[in-house]
Amino acid sequence: MAILIIAEHDDRTLKSATLNAVTAAAQIGAELHLLVAGRDCRAAAGQAARIPGLAKVLLADDASLAQQLAEKVSPLVVELAKDYSHIVAPATTSGKNLLPRVAALLGVAQLSEVIGVESTDTFRRPIYAGNAIATVQSLDSVKVLTVRGSAFEPAPAEGGGTPIESIHFAGDAGDSARFVGEQVAVSERPELSSARIVVSGGRGLGSGESFALLERLADKLGAAVGASRAAVDAGFVPNDRQVGQTGKIVAPDLYIAVGISGAIQHLAGMKESKVIVAINKDEEAPIFQVADYGLVADLFEAIPELERKL
């Protein structure tokens, strides 16, 4: 049987998380169908059709599917589910909102935040905030999974020519759940916990004023600014900036640790980052043991230079 992938999109554009989900689904190994459900979402479906390796793009375009409310999308997915062995969605807030609802209606379990595919029914997923990895076998007839994007390379976005198949779906027009509004984050800097790039400073910065150096670098990169507990304790920055065991856990694509020695509490908060860069003048600093790229340098020279050369 085939695998149904739920596309992440905003009707106009397909979101990149879809591409990671396609890779995960491909690893399970079966015919891949991608569902684009929304209102006036043909554009997104068109982009989906260009992903190589799909057998089919299903387009469900209906007024009831506007904003893709879980209450409205789940009956559609449940209706389609009988033809599929697996239903896969990215572990985004929309995927995590929708799939448990789908699973419950199907009377099956849902596996969250899958990071590894062992076989068609066995998957790896983090538990205890990533401090343990569970290998779990599904006993249900339909496997419903959300997959963590950072664990799977994105599939190519271009090169395919998949046929788009429109499916007729007349959803319930009831207003038990009604969309009121959306507020896209417009803060100058992204939020620490969701930023794609994080620049963090430690006690090596020596003062709160020096954080301005990091802020300039962060602005150039579109990054959030974090701090180690030592920097917070020293009073350089307020404690909502703290990354680490007792502060925020971050897992950005790029984490740049500046003047941070790498106390284990800090490492606990950022070691899931995809790429770690450490800049520290002490070459013995433990942060280098986890950094993909380490630079032994005086940060007061290195950071302005980095900012210039980006």
Partner 1 sequence: MKILVTVKRVIDYNVKVRVKPDHSDVDLANVKMAMNPFCEIAVEEAVRLKEAGLATEILAVSVGPKACQEQIRTALALGADRGIHIETEDFPESLEVARLLAKVVEAERPELIITGKQSIDSDNNQTGQMLAALLDLPQGTFASALKLADGRVEVTREIDGGLQTLSLSLPAVVTTDLRLNEPRYASLPNIMKAKKKPLEVRTPAELGVQPRAHTRLLKVEAPAERKGGIKVASIDELVEKLKNEAKVI
Partner 2 sequence: MPVGILGGLRRGSANPPYDYDNNKVFEEDRAMRESMEFDVVIVGAGPAGLSAACRLMQLAAEQERALEVCVVEKGSEVGAHILSGAVIEPRALDELFPDWKERGAPLNTPVSEDRLYLLKSAGQAIRLPDPLVPKTLHNQGNYVASLGNLVRWLGEQAEQLGVQIFPGFAAAEVLYREDGSVKGVATGDMGVAADGSRKDSFEPGIELHAKYTLFAEGCRGHLGQQLRRRFELERNADPQHYGLGIKELWDIDSARHQPGLVIHGSGWPLQGDASGGFFLYHAENNQVVVGLIVDLNYVNPWLSPFDEFQRMKHHPVLKHYLEGGKRVSYGARAIAKGGFNALPEMVFPGGLLIGCEAGTLNFAKIKGTHTAMKSGMLAAETVFEALVDGDEGGRALEAFDERFRASWLYEELYRSRNFGPALHRFGALGGGAFNFLEQSLFSGQLPITLRDRDEDHARLRPAADFSSIAYPKPDGLLSFDKLSSVFLSNTNHAENQPCHLVLKDAEVPVASNLPCYAEPAQRYCPAGVYEVSGDEREGWRFQVNAQNCLHCKTCDIKDPAQNIVWTTPEGGGGPNYPNM
Q: In whole angstroms, how close is the CB of 267 to partner 1 at the nearest point?
A: 8
List the one residue from 16, 31, 46, 130 that touches partner 1 (CB under 8 A): 130
- Residue 238 Cβ, how far from partner 2 at the closest point, in Å? 8
Location of structure tokens 């790039």: 197
> Which stretch, 51-59, 122-130, 239-247, 298-306, contacts partner 2 (CB under 8 A)?
239-247
The SS3 assignment for 268 reads: helix
From the list 234, 251, 296, 297, which residue makes contact with partner 2 (rule: CB under 8 A)? Answer: 234
* Residue 201's binding partner out of partner 2, partner 1, none, with CB under 5 to 8 Å set by partner kind: none
Under 8 Å between Cβ of 228 and 254: no
CB closer to partner 1 out of 54 and 98? 98
Measured distance CA(258)–CA(261) in Å, rounded: 9
Distance CA 35, CA 60 (A): 7
Residues of the binding site for FAD: 203, 228-229, 242-246, 259-266, 280
Residue in the block written with tokens 């169908």: 33
Nearest CA to 196 among 291, 95, 271, 273? 273
From 151, 192, 243, 254, residue interacting with partner 1 (rule: CB under 8 A): 254
Options 246, 253, 283, 305; binder of partner 2; rule CB under 8 A: 246
Residue with tokens 């910065």: 205
| Residue closer to partner 2 (CB basis): 156 or 206 | 206
N residues, the chain: 310
Determine phi and psi for 186, rounding to 5 degrees.
-120, 10
Contact positions vs partner 2 (CB under 8 A): 203, 206-208, 229-230, 233-239, 242, 245-247, 263-265, 268, 286
